[in-house]
Amino acid sequence: MTKSSVLIVGSLAFDDLEMPSGTFENVVGGAATYASIAASLLCPVRLVGVIGDDFPSAVISDLGKRGVDTSGVEKASGKTFRWRGRYAKDLSSRETLDTQLNVFADFRPKIPATFKTTPYVLLGNIHPALQLEVLAQIERPKLVVADTMNFWITGEPKLLGEVMKKVDLLVINDEEARELTGIHNLVKAAADIRKRGPKHLIVKRGEHGALYFDEAGAFFAPAYPLEDVLDPTGAGDSFAGGLLGYLTCVGTLEHPVMRRAIYFGSALGSFCVEGIGPRRLLDVTKADLQKRMGEFMSLVETGGPVVLPV
């Protein structure tokens, strides 16, 4: 039996990062890049996106060596998508200084024929119209996961509503969940979102962990507490990639597999923030991941049931 793959559609980019530790320019980034690097530690990846003439071919061939099928990465004439951001001193917030869509402006995802039956699909944070175009091109997968952002929540609510009807798992952050629903309380907001389509919902809370909601109830996993955080860029994408990588590798969605997948996503996210750009993430081995998972589990371990003494 061939190993299952995950299809990842989204941005490949250059990031210019103004960090408290220095300014780093031309850092290879993009949601699909981070998600692919994370997922490829756990399963084969099929990547769909667009790059310009200026994107280093070495990065594409390195992805290939990691088991990422890059035949869906289109090379367009022009410059690669570029984002410039400045982070707060404590890294808890960031400000977008500049966004240059470049070749991403005219991007229309084309799913290669060999990718159309991929069982696990991650729709990165792109225009909801493009997310719908991807869904129209593929055969019904086992699981469709979508990310989105405030920009689409306010700018394209109708199209986003269509996307939500067609995805199994929506991954957003707490502020996005509040903006999407107009409800401050996350438990109530989650119930509201799940009524709009996605049976599964993850609400990311950065360093405060992630909440997950499905028909079995609510689940909470903390973020792995780190002593040294260098760069949060791509952490959410690494989370999604790691989560899907684990699900694809396990090959079942039976309860409580999604809960375990969230821990794997968080572990990959924790590696991501330890380096500028994807530098640290690229170096992570399966052994590193296993070690961190052990430490992660010891962080929440209660040594058995926690009940009232009789």
Report the interface residues with a copy of itself, using CB under 8 A: 42, 90, 184-188, 205, 208-209, 211, 217-222, 225-229, 249-250, 255-256, 259-260, 263-264, 286, 289-290, 293, 296-303, 305-309
DSSP collapsed to 3 states, the chain: CCCCCEEEECCCEEEEEEECCEEEEEEEECHHHHHHHHHCCCCCEEEEEEECCCCCHHHHHHHHHCCEEEEEEEECCCCCCEEEEEECCCCCCEEEEEEECHHHHHCCCCCCHHHCCCCEEEECCCCHHHHHHHHHHCCCCCEEEEECCHHHHHHCHHHHHHHHHHCCEEEEEHHHHHHHHCCCCHHHHHHHHHHCCCCEEEEECHHHCEEEEECCEEEEECCCCCCCCCCCCCHHHHHHHHHHHHHHHHCCCCCCHHHHHHHHHHHHHHHHCCCCCCHHHHHCCHHHHHHHHHHHHHHHCCCCCCCCCC
Give whichever of 21 and 185 is closer to a copy of itself, judged by the CB atom: 185
**Choice between 130 and 223, CB closer to a copy of itself:** 223
How far, in Å, CA of 137 to CA of 110, rounded?
Answer: 8
Residue 96 or 185 with smaller CB distance to a copy of itself: 185
Instruction: Report in angstroms how near the CB of residue 309 gets to a copy of itself at its nearest.
Output: 5
Q: How far is the CB of 175 from a copy of itself (least distance, A)?
A: 12
CB of 90 to a copy of itself, least distance (A): 6
User: Shortest approach of a copy of itself to residue 210 CB, angstroms?
Assistant: 10
When the beta carbons of 58 and 307 are compared against a copy of itself, the nearer one is 307
As given in the structure block, the two tokens for residue 47 are 């990547």
- Closest contact distance (angstroms) between CB of 156 and a copy of itself is 27
In whole angstroms, how close is the CB of 207 to a copy of itself at the nearest point?
Answer: 9
Identify the CA nearest to 259 among candidates 195, 213, 226.
213
Provide the minimum distance between the beta carbon of 283 and a copy of itself in the complex, in angstroms, as a whole number: 18
Of the pair 5, 11, the CB lying nearest a copy of itself is at 5
Which residue number, 64 or 209, has a Cβ lying nearer to a copy of itself? Answer: 209
Nearer to a copy of itself among residue 159 and residue 183 (C-beta): 183
